[in-house]
Structure 1
Amino acid sequence: MLNFWFWLALVMAAADWLVVARGGGRLRWLTKPGALLLMIVWFTTVGAWRGPLLWFGLALVFSMLGDILLLPPRLFLGGLLAFLTAHAFYVVGFNISPLAFRWTALFLLLPVLLPMGLFNQRLLNKMRRGPETRLTIILVVTYSLVIGLMLISALLTPFRPAWPVGPAWMAVAGALLFVLSDSTLAAARFIRPLRYSELTVIITYHVGQFLLAGAALWMFA
């Protein structure tokens, strides 16, 4: 599963981290979408988008589109819509497998979803008092709901009988890192500046995407 394209994608992601650590610049137009493009090539060569992998592949494609749209600040809302679509595809991909819900799942869901809900409430209050437009607020709230559904869907993979332990917990870790990345980005943009926020955002984002794609390939390829 870890073929040439995986390692090339990992090298490109690390190159993007280095560019961010050095202050960004035009090179990011190559390294940022390049990391996802190579990840998509890796995903395609291993899984060929067969069956449920279609939804995970589409999630990666729209994530790459979001990466491109977020490079110029004026296209922030376009990037937000692209990532919202990506998370919707992740939701579909995870929920193809039936769920055998147990009450013990609440011990996994509540410690994660409660802090996330409190953070989103604080974010919303801050945005209402700020200069953001009504459209921006609506899209951010909608995005928060969709990524929340993605996180819940991933957190429940250990309770899906079809998912083995390994890929299930890989999916959990990937979703948590993706949410951490987006939460850091939102906090730095709408609440207050955070030290090393850009580097934190991109590292957790790339690692989260690798884990989500890897979990899907392990499960369905």
Structure 2
Amino acid sequence: MENMNTFQQFIEYFQVNGSYVFTQFFRHFLISIYGVIFAAIVGIPIGIFISKHYKLANWVIRIANIIQTIPSLAMISILMLGLGLGVNVVILTVFLYSLLPIIKNTYTGMRQVDSNALDVGKGMGMTSLQRLYMIELPLSVSVIMAGIRNALVVAIGITAIGAFVGAGGLGDIIIRGTNATNGTSIILAGALPTALMAIITDWLLGIVERRLDPATKTSK
């Protein structure tokens, strides 16, 4: 009976606040995607660089690992001291947490490129830049995409915590639910769309990853 009442309250909340939930859903996604895009802009070149200078790889990946060990709420609190409240703090937090999977996957993908393919490129007179864009990146793009995929799913969870510093998003609805009497339905109104966003994003990027996989293209 209690579960039935919660479900009814959940439906009623959506009927009254549907537009608000959608606005926060869209805001939540944008914060997550911005942080991951900035991380990709920085992380992919770093991953390519350390694949060419692999003695630096352990140090760079170790630093990115250290960032991952810091609890997300602590990271947001630390950054808030310098940047204040708002969206920028959360985007920077997402950026920092997204670096490890993107750098590591880029490095792994580049190192897995068949050396014979590179030798063929050299034999054809390709420059190192041409080999990068015409051989290495096409062969490693699916692995890089897997890193971006992992980063975005993690980012969606981190962004929910951003409501504590006034960034908005679906976490704002969850916090309202925890502060309300009998707020289970409100918590669900924030938590379920967050989970749905993560599932759909992972599924869609998984499709893109498989499409970009050279092995899939060869089998066709």
**TM-score (normalised: structure 1):** 0.28
Higher helix share: 2
Larger relative contact order (Cα-Cα within 8 Å, sequence gap ≥ 6): 2
Of structures 1 and 2, the larger Rg is shown by 2
